[in-house]
Amino acid sequence: MGTNGTVDTATFTANYTTSSLIGEKLMTHFNLQSSGKASDIAKWHNSIQELALQTRLGIPITLATDPRHSFAEVAGAAVGVGSFSQWPETLGLAALRSPDLVQRFGEIAREEYMAVGIRQALSPQIDLSTEPRWARTGQTYGEDANLTSALVVAYLKGFQGDKLGRHSVTTVTKHFPGGGPAKNGNDSHFETGKDNVFPGGYFDYHLEPFKAAIAAGARQMMPAYARPIGTKYEEVGMGFNRGIVTELLREELGFDGIVVSDWGLVTDFTALGEDMEAISWGVENLTELQKVEKILNAGVDQLGGEIRTELVIQLVNDGIVPESRLDESVRRLLKEKFELGLFDNPFVDPESADRVVGNDYFSRIGNETQRRAYTLLNNPDDLLPLPLNTETKFYADGFNASYLLARNLSVVDAPEDADFALLRLSTPYEARGGGFESHYHQGRLDFNETEVARHAAIMSAVPTIVDIYLDRPAVIPELAEGSAALLGNFGASPDAFLDVVFGTDGWKPEGKLPFDLPRSMEAVEAQLTDAPFDTANPVYRYGHGLSYAEKC
């Protein structure tokens, strides 16, 4: 997307522009990875629809997006919120245990997406986060299959409605058959994360949310990148895996919708300056043509993140893949475009987009949910909520003190001069790789010695209220012991944090942990990768979450 909603004329992939991908490659599905003003997105969407109408068949574009309503911004996984309403991560929705709220989120997100022309959500992500180190935990609903199953049903209804139609956004449920059992928690975009392992024999446990999604009318499925190790299935990436896609998903579970591969299975690419080989675990030695053949033979309908239409044409022309096989997938894809009403009218109103996206009501519900999802982990002597006293002196660390000053509160420069310290942290991770991999939070979950000492110095100088962003299960026994009160959030603004600390307007934490918080890295490494709730002696167990005491 260019400036002010124009179609960018720069070449961005293999020397193709957006216009040439539509006019020459005849592509009709795109993923929007940028954010901006709603009306600009809507104008751009209308422009590419105009280009599509000028092609021989005039097939309208289906525009997709990764999740874009939370605090995460991870290349290839989540888009910056831009002008959309801002909510906690899906972990925060899981912390509230409310299918009704998840459905309401889906309805609001659907209205915002449709206003700018987005008709395909590359979500929900219903992997079960049984490996605490896993880099994609933040976009899941935690490690409980039953809770995730209940919430995915509500999510699908919110986006799709009772029946897919012109007022729906179609969904892509991922990553089948569950990406959570990642060896050592490494992300499957990268070779270190290419294996899913099942030492506890919990393969079927990870299928449970997908069964619920299929029963609830899931329209599309995305197979995981990783390869299944030690199962009855071929040890190749799920998108290449006929046993996974056709035999398990389609034949055994009865899914008859669209299967779209995850991005970049065929062609090498560059992401954020980092050169990446095609993500083709187990079939790395195949040619590009052979990879496409294996993907199609697995039962996949659509190749995500690829523009290599010439390879599909060559497979047909060479008699390797029958045209009837392509017809199966084309029927599914065109049928959905018709059901969404794109052939009737693919255009949107840019002026309306600015009124709908991020409107006061949608933003208010998102902001309220940030506050409600807060999880009170420890509150000795019922310290919280603090009284709002202008004479109380605060030391702020991890957020801008201006948020306190805006409430007419006193701020000091050193913890020893304060009555209370407010310390905001994020779950630790190991920074790895270049531009692309550095966006993924992987590796250790505990703070290094320097940070532990820094936190300890603050906590020993003054009663300290600690707030930690839990995009993965942090190893924080020292914070549980040394803090005056401990809160966990799943994506929350500084104002949301302060409203909960002071109980402003009655706000209080309502969340319950969607996963265990381990006591040590040794415990993390000892637990079974695919097994839920098996952390030895965790600091806080799944479901933990305190409430504020009633104060007269």
Tell me, what CATH number does 399's domain have? 3.40.50.1700
Both 164 and 244 in one domain: the answer is yes
- Is residue 53 one of the residues assigned to a domain? no
The catalytic site residues sit at 262
- Is residue 17 one of the residues assigned to a domain? no
Both 174 and 299 in one domain: the answer is yes
Both 313 and 266 in one domain: the answer is yes
Both 165 and 273 in one domain: the answer is yes
Mark residue 478 as left, alpha or beta (left: phi above 0; alpha: psi -120 to 50; beta: remaining): alpha
Instruction: Give how far Cα 52 sits from Cα of 56, 348, 350, 400, Å.
Output: 9, 15, 19, 47
- Is residue 80 one of the residues assigned to a domain? no
Give the tens place of pLDDT for each residue, 308-335. 999 999 999 999 999 999 999 999 999 9
Q: Residue 354: helix, strand or coil by DSSP? A: helix
Instruction: Determine the Cα–Cα distance for residues 42 and 62; give it in Å rounded to an integer.
Output: 13
Give me the amino acid identity at 24: E
Both 325 and 378 in one domain: the answer is no
Q: What is the dihedral of CA 105, 106, 107, 112, to 10 degrees?
A: 90
Instruction: Determine the Cα–Cα distance for residues 395 and 364; give it in Å rounded to an integer.
Output: 29
Q: Note whether 432 and 442 are within 8 A (CB).
A: yes
Q: Note whether 238 and 223 are within 8 A (CB).
A: yes
Ranges of residues in the chain with a pLDDT under 70 are 1-6, 8-14, 75, 550-552
Q: Note whether 492 and 369 are within 8 A (CB).
A: no
Q: Which residues pair with 430 in a beta bridge?
A: 442
> Which residues constitute the domain of residue 194?
88-347
Q: Which residues pair with 396 in a beta bridge?
A: 422
Burial 191-219 (b: 16+ CB within 10 A, else e): ebbbbbbbebebbebbbbbbebbbebbbb
Burial 242-261 (b: 16+ CB within 10 A, else e): bbbbbbbbbeebebebbbbb
Both 340 and 396 in one domain: the answer is no
- Is residue 27 one of the residues assigned to a domain? no
Q: Residue 245: helix, strand or coil by DSSP? A: helix
Q: Which residues pair with 546 in a beta bridge?
A: 376
- Is residue 236 one of the residues assigned to a domain? yes
User: What does the pLDDT read at residue 433?
Assistant: 78
Instruction: Determine the Cα–Cα distance for residues 406 and 291; give it in Å rounded to an integer.
Output: 58
Both 183 and 302 in one domain: the answer is yes
Give me the amino acid identity at 225: Y
User: Based on C-alpha coordinates, what's the Rg of the chain?
Assistant: 24
Burial (0-12, 13-18, 19+ Cβ within 10 Å), 522: exposed
Instruction: Determine the Cα–Cα distance for residues 469 and 511; give it in Å rounded to an integer.
Output: 13
Of 524, 517, 513, residue with least CA distance to 538: 517
Give me the amino acid identity at 409: L
Give the tens place of pLDDT for each residue, 259-311. 999 999 999 988 878 889 999 999 999 999 999 999 999 999 999 999 999 99
Number of domains within the chain: 2
Both 380 and 439 in one domain: the answer is yes
Query: Which ranges in 376-461 belong to alpha helices (H)?
Result: 402-405, 449-461
Q: Which residues contact 394 (CB under 8 A, 6 or more apart)?
A: 401, 404, 409, 410, 411, 412, 418, 419, 420, 421, 422
Q: Please identify, among 294, 315, 347, the residue that sits at the C-terminal boundary of a domain.
A: 347
Q: Which residues pair with 410 in a beta bridge?
A: 393
Both 513 and 412 in one domain: the answer is yes
Domain CATH for 108: 3.20.20.300
Q: Which residues contact 302 (CB under 8 A, 6 or more apart)?
A: 29, 258, 259, 260, 261, 329, 333
Of 141, 176, 171, 173, residue with least CA distance to 158: 171
- Is residue 382 one of the residues assigned to a domain? yes
Both 414 and 471 in one domain: the answer is yes
- Is residue 13 one of the residues assigned to a domain? no
Q: What number of helices (H) and strands (E) belong to the chain?
A: 17, 16
Q: Is the peptide bond before 385 cis (omega within 30 degrees of 0)?
A: yes
Q: Please identify, among 314, 347, 380, the residue that sits at the C-terminal boundary of a domain.
A: 347
- Is residue 76 one of the residues assigned to a domain? no
Both 343 and 462 in one domain: the answer is no
Instruction: Determine the Cα–Cα distance for residues 450 and 120; give it in Å rounded to an integer.
Output: 45
Both 336 and 426 in one domain: the answer is no
